[in-house]
Every structure is written in structure tokens, then in C-alpha cells.
């Protein structure tokens, strides 16, 4: 008789354990073991427990290929699912083999785990293993099915209820409990204060400071005090929740007729728009050029997007244009605002020299336009929906033994559930986003427009920054931290991909990899060749770039857009969900009462504040970027690369903390230590 030592680890989440019988069968090239009940003295398979068991066989099973787990009822106890983290088997020959599981197991279910090193499909020669890969993907293609969410928008998972989402991709019990409690506590406080259902207008903006007793942050407090100031207004377009729209302006759009006479008072003495926009050679700096000091935010994509009808009138959604000047003190200041795309006498250009209420009102309309683009085009579409497409394609096309499945799966944790919750609660007909200016019809129209303009280049931060001419604008911490993070991720991905793909020919031969990228091209980008998204890979470097983009998008980009929502939107006048009146068509008629009439009513305001608090919160089971508590890789080289990745992220985190200590308004949204591995909120 020979003995196999079997170590079985139960997950550490609440209620991971089970009192049921667990059976194991070992399968090798020379046969399989008897079905063995894993039972030691005392309790087995409790949360966080690792049990060691012995499986005997008359002779060696040869090369160990699979571990089969089964779960059956113990006595008359009710069903309790069991979360198995991993199984490690030590063979009689002394080999120690990891069989990752990381899934929930139900009664009557048979789970076959594949162990050993990550392998690509053409590396599997044994019919049993080839068949195992095919069966696994067939099961996943039934579990994860594509459906159309809206015309011109990435396809989504077909599940409409949480019960239809496989247990292993759902929130942990602690995450779900904390999520529900956070929302309930915020709503309870608002109801206690009789605010949540109020349709009254705010009488004094200072009343906003009393909405919550405890839900506040240092940055949200700063915003409430400085939101009217031009330099703070400008800084948000670089380091606020939406650093995606602003670009360098080298020529004014033809529909934005700003003249020198209008803005000369706000430029340095003797200068002009033409001088500030042009590229000037810096004789004192032979290494570079001055790329100009004028910048533009153009929200033309919002023009004509349908809006909700309230009291018989459509709400306003302005396709604004805002011109900025980087002054000699390196402050980015707004110098001209036009609230609609087509210039006319009824669409004046607002200036800092206008009355303070005219100018403040114009800036509020710009912030509303930015909020709409931010939430729909960049946050919802650019991170959540793309992350869902990446997740679906990975489950459907890459088996768990594929090296890229092992590399990517930690970055898709909770993504399917949070997106399902978003569709049910945030962008449902009664959800807060669908009850903003646009409504559900307008929201889907904006998604369609934004998706038609997405390019592969725009998703790759280094190319995006160059395309927008933002390489040298100072105090742009999103760029500074983001480029460093991109390079760290890219270096890690390059090492991992090159370790598993020794040549371009191996990329071409990997049929599962080709199916994966084709699914993303078809379902995530709707087969749009103009997007530049590849539909197949031919070279190792192409795989490296695409995987880098995915990991950056679902971790860094999502964090940069998501985690500051309450910081910058908790003070609703700074990021209003909707505005109740059309923009002014003449100057000189605005007052503080005008602003109060334009802003959302009390109920809409406080519900929006509660939503941004819920979505910005850092939950206790957050897994930071580069942290991999689930062990998918067992090989020495990938494990060492992960350690190097973590060290580089730690170094970047320390440098960001040191930099932030010198800033009045710190930028922490791209701090790896505070950044989730995945789109999970």
C-alpha cells in the first residue's frame, strides 16, 4: 500500500465551513484511488481550518492529475455550502502538488480540481486533461451567458437576480452585510431628519453641512469651503473624480468664439490667447518645448441627449465648453464658459469678470456636465462594463489551468455582482442615476455615444496622456501616479507573460487565448475595428500590452474614478446630479436664490449624498492591488515575480504618502495600498 497526504483548506470568510461529509478521489495516469471519506477526530472543515488526511492505494497512481471532491449530507442537518480554498497533495514519490479550488461546493456536487503548473492547451497531451479543459469551459459557457443590455453598449452577463450568479463570484457574507448596513444607516439618518423624501428647495447651502452627523471626509469638508474658488474649480479637472476630459487647446473650436478682449484681463500682462496656445521654443531649456498654457473641456457628447421630463418640462443637460489658463503660478484657472455648443446671443460666454453669481452659476452647469460624463462615459462604461466583458470572456474562454486565467482572476473579484446590483439599484428606472438629468433613455444614449468613441489607445494611459497633450502640465497627480503605476503593472505582466509564452508562435498556437480576445472584441467592443482593439494576438508584446490595460483599468482607473465620489460629490453643489432649470441666456440676473432654485431639491440631494458615500466607502474585506490571498500559482518564478510586484507597489505607495504630506489637498486615489484589485464597488 502507498499513502498520499491530502491537506484540505477551508476558506476564511464567514460561514465557509460545513458539517457535511467530504469525500475525495485521487486520479492519476495509472488509475484512481478509492473514494475516501475525509474524517479526523473532532471537527473537520470549519472556517479557516486546514485538515491533513491520508488516502491509501495498493500502488502508485503515477502522475497525479485530478482531485475529485464530493459533499454529502451528515445526519439530518440542513444544507450548508462549503468553501474549499485549496487541496495540497503529497505523493509517495515526494511531489507536493497544489490543486486550487476557491469555490463553494454544494451537496451532491462533484468538483474535479486540476493541479500542477499552469499549462496552455497545446501543452496538454493526455486525453483526460484535454477533455477536462473542454468540459470546464462548456460548464462555464452555460453559467456565464452574454445578453444585450442596450444597443451599442458592451454585452453583459444574463443573470438578473443574485441567485443566478455562481456563489464563488458573489460578495462574501461580511461584504454584503457591511454593504447593506452602510446603506441602511445612511438612509435611516436621513429619514430621522425628515430629509429623504423632501421635495423642498434648500433655503441656505450651509444646511448641507448638517445632512450627516458622521459621514464626512477631510476632502469633502475642504470642498464645502472652497468650491466657489476658481483655482479649486480648475484643480478638479486634473485630480478630482474625472481627470479624463481636459486636454491641451492649441486652437479654439469654431463654435467657441472666445476673443482676446474677453480673456486678456486673466492672462499674464501683454499676452494673448494665440501666444498662450502656441508651442514656443524655450531657449533656456534645450531639452524641450513649452506646449502652451490653454486647456479645454468640451462636453459636446452631451448635446441632444434626451433628459427626464419633470412637471411637463425636460431637465437641462448642457453640452458646455470651458476654457482654462495655466497661469505663471501653475494654477489652472477657468477663463471662459459657454453652456451650449452653438454660439448665439442667448448663449453668452461667461467670464470671471461677470457678477459672482453669474460666474458661479456657469461653473455649476459645467460641473453638472462633468458629473454626467464622468458617471456614465468613464465610470460606468469605461470601468464597470468593460470589466464585466473582460470577466465574462475569461470565465468562458480560459480554463483555470490557463496561465492568464490564474493571472487575471484575482482582478475580477465581485465584478459580476456589483454590476448586477448597479443595474438593479443605481441605473434601474427608479435608481439614482436614472433619476438624474438624463433618465434611463438618456443614460443608454450617452453610453452608446461614448462606446462608439472608445479606442484602445484611450484605454492605455501613456497614449491617452500624450493624445490629450498633458505630458507637462504641473500638479497633475493622476498622471504622475498613474504612469508610474502603469509601468509597474506592465513590468509585472511582461515578466509573467514572457515566462509562459517563450515565442510569438506560442501565442498564435494558443486557441483558448485567441477565443478569449475574440470574445472581448465581439462582446466588449461590438466588433468595432475602428476601436483598435485586437481580435487576435500574433505577438507576445501584444498580449503584454492588453493584459496591462485590463489590470490598470479594473484597479487603478476604477479607483481613480470611484473612490473620490463622496470627497468631491458629497458637497452636491460641486457635483450636482441634476439641475432643475435651464441655463441662463443673459447675464446680470443671477442671485444666490437663483442658484438655490437651480440645484436639486432636498430629497434628491441627500439621496445622492448617501449613494456616493456607499460607493466611496472602503470595505473591510478589500484586497489591495498586488495582494493575492488565493494561491493560484505554485511555480517558483511566478511567485517571485509577485513578490517583486508587491515591493514596487509598496515603494510607490510610500512615495505617494510622502508627497501627499506636503499637499493642502492630497491625492490618494492611485495609492496602491488603498486600491482594490478589482471593480468590486
CA distance 646 to 285: 37
Q: Which residues of 284-314 are buried (b: 16+ CB within 10 A; e: fewer)?
A: eeeeeeebbbbbbbbbebbeebbbbeeeeee
Check whether 368 is labelled as a binding-site residue. no
Cα–Cα distance measured from residue 496 to residue 639, given in angstroms and rounded to the nearest whole number: 10
Is 681 among the annotated ligand-binding positions? yes
- Ligand-binding annotation for 621, yes or no, is no
Dist. CA 117–CA 99, nearest whole Å: 10
- In the beta sheet, which residues pair with residue 314? 309
Q: Is 279 annotated as a binding residue?
A: no
Evaluated on CA atoms 213, 214, 218, 220, the torsion sign reads: negative
Annotated ligand binding at 593? The verdict is: no
Other residues' Cβ atoms within 10 Å of the Cβ of residue 127: 8
Q: Which three cell numbers stand for residue 397?
A: 474562454
CB 283, CB 337: distance < 8 Å = no
Report the chain's C-alpha Rg in angstroms: 28
Say if strands 110-114 and 247-248 run parallel, antiparallel, or are unpaired.
unpaired
- d(CA 223, CA 117) in angstroms, rounded, equals 51
The helix/strand count (H/E) of the chain reads as: 22, 20
142 bridge partner residues = none
The CA distance from 404 to 550, in Å, is: 12
State residue 3 phi and psi, 5-degree precision: -120, 140
226 is in an annotated binding site: no
Ramachandran bin of 663, using left for φ above 0, alpha for ψ from -120 to 50, beta for the remaining angles: beta
Q: Which of 204, 213, 235, 237 is nearest to 222 (CA)?
A: 235
Residue 116, judged by CB atoms within 10 A of its CB (0-12, 13-18, 19+), counts as: middle
How far apart, in whole angstroms, are the C-alpha atoms of residue 359 and residue 588? 10
Write out the H or E segment, with its range, that includes residue 660. Answer: helix 636-660
Is 155 labelled a binding residue? no
Residues in Cβ contact with 500 at an 8 Å cutoff, skipping those fewer than 6 apart: 118, 120, 403, 404
| SS3 of the chain: helix, strand, coil, percent, to 5 | 45, 15, 40
Q: Distance (Å, rounded) from C-alpha 6 to C-alpha 20?
A: 18
> Would you state the cell numbers that stand for residue 153, as one nine-digit string?
453598449
Backbone phi, psi, residue 375, to 5°:
-65, -40
How would you write 75-127 as a 3-class SS string? CCCCCCCEEEEEEEEECCCCCEEEEEEEEEECCCCEEEEECCCCCCHHHCCCH
Rounded to 10 deg, the angle between the 230-239 and 477-500 helix axes is 0
Strand partners, 295: 248, 324
Half-sphere exposure of residue 383: CA atoms within 13 angstroms, side-chain side: 31
CB atoms within 10 A of CB 283: 6
Name the grid cell of 175.
461584504
* C-beta separation of 496 from 638 below 8 A: yes
SS3 (DSSP) at 92: coil
C-alpha cell at 530: 475602428
Q: Residues forming the annotated binding site for Fe cation?
A: 379, 384, 558, 681
Q: Residues forming the annotated binding site for Ca(2+)?
A: 17, 39-40
Q: Residues forming the annotated binding site?
A: 17, 39-40, 379, 384, 558, 681
Amino acid at each position: 500500500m502507498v499513502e498520499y497526504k491530502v491537506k484540505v483548506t477551508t476558506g476564511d470568510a464567514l460561514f465557509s465551513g460545513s458539517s457535511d461529509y467530504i469525500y475525495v478521489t485521487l486520479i492519476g495516469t495509472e488509475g484512481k484511488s478509492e473514494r475516501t471519506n475525509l474524517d479526523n477526530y473532532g471537527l473537520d472543515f470549519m472556517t479557516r481550518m486546514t485538515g491533513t488526511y491520508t488516502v491509501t492505494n495498493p500502488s502508485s497512481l503515477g502522475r497525479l492529475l485530478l482531485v475529485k471532491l464530493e459533499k454529502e449530507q451528515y445526519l439530518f442537518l440542513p444544507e450548508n455550502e462549503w468553501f474549499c480554498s485549496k487541496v495540497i497533495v503529497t505523493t509517495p514519490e515526494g511531489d507536493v502538488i497544489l490543486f486550487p479550488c476557491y469555490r463553494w461546493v454544494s451537496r451532491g456536487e462533484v468538483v474535479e480540481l486540476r493541479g500542477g503548473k499552469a499549462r496552455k492547451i497545446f501543452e496538454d497531451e493526455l486525453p483526460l486533461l484535454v477533455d477536462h479543459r473542454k468540459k470546464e469551459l462548456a460548464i462555464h459557457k452555460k453559467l456565464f451567458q452574454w445578453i444585450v443590455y442596450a444597443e451599442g453598449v458592451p454585452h453583459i452577463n444574463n443573470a438578473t437576480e443574485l441567485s443566478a450568479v455562481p456563489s464563488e463570484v458573489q460578495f462574501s457574507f461580511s461584504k454584503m452585510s457591511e454593504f447593506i448596513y452602510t446603506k441602511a444607516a445612511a438612509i435611516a439618518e436621513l429619514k430621522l431628519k425628515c430629509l429623504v423624501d423632501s421635495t423642498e428647495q434648500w433655503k441656505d447651502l450651509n444646511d448641507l453641512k448638517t445632512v450627516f452627523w458622521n459621514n464626512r471626509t477631510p476632502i469633502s469638508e475642504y470642498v464645502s469651503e472652497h468650491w466657489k474658488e476658481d483655482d479649486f474649480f480648475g484643480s478638479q479637472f486634473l485630480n478630482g473624480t474625472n481627470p479624463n476630459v481636459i486636454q491641451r487647446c492649441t486652437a479654439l473650436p469654431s463654435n467657441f468664439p472666445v476673443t482676446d478682449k474677453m480673456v486678456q484681463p486673466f492672462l499674464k500682462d501683454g499676452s494673448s490667447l494665440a501666444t498662450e496656445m502656441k508651442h514656443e521654443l524655450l531657449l533656456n531649456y534645450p531639452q524641450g518645448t513649452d506646449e502652451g498654457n490653454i486647456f479645454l473641456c468640451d462636453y459636446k457628447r452631451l448635446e441632444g441627449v434626451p433628459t427626464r421630463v419633470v412637471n411637463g418640462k425636460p431637465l437641462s443637460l448642457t453640452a458646455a465648453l470651458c476654457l482654462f489658463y495655466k497661469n505663471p503660478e501653475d494654477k489652472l484657472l477657468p477663463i471662459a464658459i459657454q453652456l451650449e455648443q452653438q454660439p448665439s446671443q442667448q448663449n453668452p460666454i461667461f467670464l470671471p469678470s461677470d457678477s459672482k453669481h453669474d460666474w458661479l452659476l456657469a461653473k455649476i452647469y459645467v460641473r453638472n456636465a462633468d458629473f454626467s460624463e464622468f458617471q456614465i462615459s468613464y465610470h460606468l462604461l469605461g470601468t464597470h462594463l468593460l470589466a464585466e466583458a473582460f470577466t465574462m470572456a475569461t470565465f468562458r474562454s480560459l480554463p483555470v489551468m490557463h496561465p492568464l486565467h490564474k493571472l487575471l482572476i484575482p482582478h475580477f473579484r465581485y465584478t459580476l455582482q456589483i454590476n448586477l446590483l448597479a443595474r438593479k439599484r443605481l441605473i434601474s428606472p427608479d435608481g439614482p442615476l436614472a433619476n438624474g438629468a438624463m433618465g434611463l433613455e438618456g443614460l443608454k444614449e450617452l453610453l452608446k455615444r461614448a462606446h462608439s468613441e472608445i479606442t484602445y489607445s484611450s484605454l492605455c494611459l501613456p497614449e491617452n496622456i500624450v493624445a490629450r497633450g498633458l505630458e507637462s502640465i504641473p500638479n497633475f497627480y493622476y498622471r504622475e501616479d498613474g504612469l508610474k503605476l502603469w509601468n509597474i503593472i506592465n513590468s509585472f505582466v511582461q515578466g509573467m507573460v514572457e515566462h509562459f509564452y517563450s515565442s510569438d508562435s506560442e501565442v498564435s498556437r494558443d486557441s483558448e487565448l485567441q477565443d478569449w480576445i475574440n470574445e472581448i472584441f465581439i462582446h466588449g467592443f461590438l466588433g468595432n475595428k475602428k476601436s483598435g482593439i485586437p481580435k487576435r494576438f500574433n505577438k507576445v508584446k501584444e498580449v503584454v500590452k492588453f493584459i496591462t490595460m485590463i489590470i490598470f483599468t479594473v484597479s487603478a482607473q476604477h479607483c481613480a474614478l470611484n473612490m473620490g465620489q463622496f470627497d468631491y460629490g458629497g458637497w452636491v453643489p460641486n457635483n450636482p446630479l441634476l439641475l432643475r432649470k435651464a441655463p441662463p441666456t443673459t447675464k446680470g440676473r443671477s442671485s444666490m436664490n437663483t442658484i438655490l432654485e437651480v440645484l436639486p431639491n432636498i430629497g434628491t440631494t441627500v439621496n445622492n449624498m448617501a449613494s456616493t458615500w456607499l460607493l466611496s466607502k472602503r470595505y473591510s474585506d478589500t484586497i489591495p492591488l498586488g495582494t493575492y490571498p488565493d494561491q493560484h500559482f505554485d511555480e517558483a518564478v511566478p511567485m517571485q515575480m509577485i513578490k517583486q510586484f508587491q515591493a514596487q507597489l509598496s515603494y510607490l505607495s510610500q512615495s505617494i504618502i510622502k508627497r501627499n504630506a506636503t499637499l493642502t489637498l492630497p491625492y490618494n486615489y492611485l495609492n496602491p495600498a488603498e486600491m482594490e484589485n478589482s471593480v468590486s464597488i
